[in-house]
């Protein structure tokens, strides 16, 4: 099942998506990757003995400062490298 939603995106992201014939797939892949990373971090913290609750995670998320432009750029480089690795494994 699929659902149509509307989102607002920064110009650079919208330009990137406009170059792809199936922007929905690109967005879905990115969101799934983010979901997987979140689940992996949560699992690692729980394995290390942290008792995580949804309320505690929400409270911590509200206390974290927003990412800087430098952090976003570093993440993009990391993400692009991981995507390239996944593509190489597919070949």
- The DSSP secondary-structure symbol of 83 reads H
Q: Residue 88 — very low, low, confident or very high, per pLDDT cuts 50/70/90?
A: confident
d(CA 86, CA 83): 5
Average pLDDT over residues 48-62: 86
Q: 23: which residues sit within 8 A by CB, 6+ positions away?
A: 17
Q: Residue 58 — very low, low, confident or very high, per pLDDT cuts 50/70/90?
A: confident
Least Cα distance to 17 among 31, 1, 34 occurs for 31
What are the structural domain ranges in the chain? 22-52
The predicted structure's pLDDT at residue 33: 94
Taking only the tens place, the pLDDT of each residue in 16-52 is: 999 999 999 999 999 999 999 989 988 999 899 988 8
């Amino acid at each position: 099942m699929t659902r149509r939603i509307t989102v607002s995106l920064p110009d650079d992201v919208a330009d990137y998506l406009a170059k792809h014939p199936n922007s929905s797939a690109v967005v879905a892949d990115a969101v799934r990757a983010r979901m997987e990373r979140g689940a992996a971090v949560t699992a690692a913290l729980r394995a290390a003995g942290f008792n995580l609750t949804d309320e505690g995670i929400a409270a911590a998320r509200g206390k974290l400062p927003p990412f800087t432009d430098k952090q976003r750029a570093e993440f993009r480089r990391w993400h692009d490298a991981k995507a390239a690795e996944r593509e190489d494994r597919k070949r």
